[in-house]
Amino acid sequence: MILKTIIAGLFALLAQPGLAQIVVSPDGEIKSIKQAVEMAEPGAHILVEPGTYMESDIGIDKPLTLEGIDYPLIDGNSEGFIFVIAADSVTIKGFNIKRTGRSYVRDYAAIMIEGVKDFIIEDNRLEDVFFGIYLAETEGGVVRNNRVEAFDTREASSGNGIHLWSVKNPKIIDNEVMGMRDGIYLEFVDNAEIYGNTSNENNRYGLHYMFSDGGRYYDNIFRRNGAGVAVMYSDNVDMMNNLFEHNWGTAAYGLLLKDINYSKIEGNRFYRNTVAIYSEGTNEVHIHGNDIELNGWAVNIKSNSARNQFTENNFIENSFDVRTDSPRNNNEFEGNYWSQYEGYDLDRDGIGDVPYRPVSLFSMVITKQPESLILLRSMFIKLLDTAERIAPVLTPKTLYDENPKMDQIVR
């Protein structure tokens, strides 16, 4: 009897507003999430039962956990933000959120987090939003297993799925983002860990680094975006074991590098992109152990890129292996497999006896006369390329692989 009395007392205590747990329900005593947040004490757990809640600008200024049961829908009615988090240690999980405001002067987001640390945003479904999850001046924090989707196909009028500005040590894990401007966008971010995400069909980039140093992204999928990933004005970024595929179009890339230094690109697969890797102003980047298959251009490297190393990559049936814009070369290609290599291996050591020159004469002709692409598979072009590779006159004489592999490198 005494035990039953204690248990009943505890349940009664938890059910009271302002204490450890608050339940929000369309048919209950508390029908509004905003009202529950205002009533809750710091550290409270707010459970939201299934139903539709027409709410926006839900401000959270104390540590709280908000958890949806069976994905209750929060409909912002196209007005402003949905959640605005301005306190440390807040968790938002298990909600279906849609219809933020849209603006050309304000970045309305489904979940806005500003000036805080140690938050968790997980297992939410966001659709028809301007910005999805927006982090500004935060430290730490986890964004995990969320789905963000919008339907605006215009780059100028769409926002980013997961947007980070002036952030330190974030973790972006196992999210799916599609139909946004950039799937994941980083600006002035230090040491980001980004892995297990899928970024599809975004209007501009699947993942976009700007002025963001350190950290790494790995085991992600970037498919059918305007371009897969752009890493710009950043140093010491590791890019490992990602899949870049079907990023195809007149200005599309699997991976765009611009003014980055001291980084690593390793174990990735580039499959059917217009250009697998585009490099401009890039220095001391090690590109190692990647599979680069069936792309238009495998590598387009500008002459202002220097001291980059391409080692033990598989270049398989790309229309063009390497393109550059100068007869000079300041980069190293060593020990790669080239499916277009036609040399021989008399000593049977698995390495071609003559160097491979991956820049074809025809790729340079196309740079000046794009209409000549119609001649791509012709015998005349094949003869020209063969002659140029034997006795290079126009292509870079110093850009060659001294030790090309005879067989595809097995991982």
Closest CA to 47 of 59, 55, 38, 36: 36
Question: Would 1 be classed as within a structural domain?
Answer: no
Q: What is the mean pLDDT of residues 1-17?
A: 45
Burial of 52 (0-12, 13-18, 19+ CB in 10 A): exposed
Of residues 152 and 130, which shows the higher confidence score? Answer: 130
Question: Could you tell me if 93 and 124 are in contact, meaning their C-beta atoms sit under 8 angstroms apart?
Answer: yes
Examine the pLDDT at 388 and tell me if it is beyond 80.
no
- Look at 173 and 398; give whichever has higher pLDDT: 173
Provide the 3-class DSSP secondary structure of residue 337. strand
Asked if residue 411 is part of any domain, the answer here is no
User: Helix H segments across 16-144?
Assistant: 33-39
- At residue 284 the predicted structure's pLDDT band, cuts being 50, 70 and 90, is very high
Q: Tell me, what's the pLDDT at 173?
A: 98
Six token digits for residue 311: 């080692």
Measured CA to CA, the distance from residue 230 to residue 214 in angstroms comes to 15
Distance separating alpha carbons of residues 257 and 305, to the nearest angstrom: 10
At residue 3, the pLDDT reads 45
Count of structural domains within the chain: 1
Residue 85 CB coordination number (10 Å): 27
3 belongs to a structural domain = no
Pick the most confident of 7-21, 148-162, 268-282.
268-282
**Is 162 part of any domain?**
yes
Please give the span between the terminal C-alpha atoms of the chain, in angstroms, as a whole number: 67
Q: What is the pLDDT of residue 20?
A: 84
**Predicted local distance difference test score (pLDDT) of residue 375:** 67
The residues facing 53 across adjacent strands are 74
Confidence of residue 376 (pLDDT cuts 50, 70, 90): low
- The CATH number assigned to the domain holding 145 equals 2.160.20.10
The residue among 274 and 384 whose pLDDT is bigger is 274
Q: Whole-number mean pLDDT of the chain?
A: 91
Distance CA 127, CA 147 (A): 8
User: Which tops the pLDDT comparison, 87 or 8?
Assistant: 87
Looking at residues 104-118, what average pLDDT do you find? 95
Q: How far apart are CA 358 and CA 349, in angstroms?
A: 21
H/E element, 387: helix 379-390
Residue 6 pLDDT greater than 50, yes or no: no
Q: Would you state the pLDDT for residue 87?
A: 98
Region of residue 309 (phi > 0: left; psi between -120 and 50: alpha; otherwise: beta)? beta
pLDDT of residue 65: 98
For 52-106, what is each residue's pLDDT tens digit? 999 999 999 999 999 999 999 999 999 999 999 999 999 999 999 999 999 888 9
Angle at 179 between CA 174 and CA 181, to 5 degrees: 95
Domain membership of residue 15 (yes or no) is no
pLDDT band at 372 (very low <50, low <70, confident <90, very high): low
The confidence score (pLDDT) of residue 248 equals 87
Who has greater pLDDT, 122 or 393?
122
User: Rounded distance, CA 106 to CA 119, Å?
Assistant: 23
Q: Specify the pLDDT at position 49.
A: 98
Res. 208 pLDDT band, cuts 50 70 90: very high
* CA nearest neighbour of 362 among 372, 349, 348: 372
Q: Quick check: is 376 in a domain?
A: yes
Q: Can you tell me the mean pLDDT for 338-354? A: 94
Q: Is residue 346 part of a domain?
A: yes
Predicted confidence (pLDDT) at residue 333 exceeds the cutoff of 90? yes
The pLDDT value given to residue 1: 44
Confidence of residue 172 (pLDDT cuts 50, 70, 90): very high
Contact 77, 98 (CB under 8 A): no
pLDDT > 90? residue 2: no
Tell me the residue length of the chain. Answer: 411
Nearest to 195 by CA among 255, 252, 137, 243: 243
Q: Compute the average pLDDT of residues 181-196.
A: 98
- Would you say residue 243 lies in a domain? yes
Query: pLDDT at position 393, please?
Result: 65
**What band does 267 get if pLDDT is binned at 50, 70 and 90?**
very high
Residue 249 pLDDT > 90: no
User: What digits encode the pLDDT tens for the residues 286-315?
Assistant: 999 999 999 999 999 999 999 999 999 999
* Whole-prediction pTM: 0.90
Indicate if the pLDDT at residue 318 is higher than 50.
yes
Domain that holds residue 324: 21-390
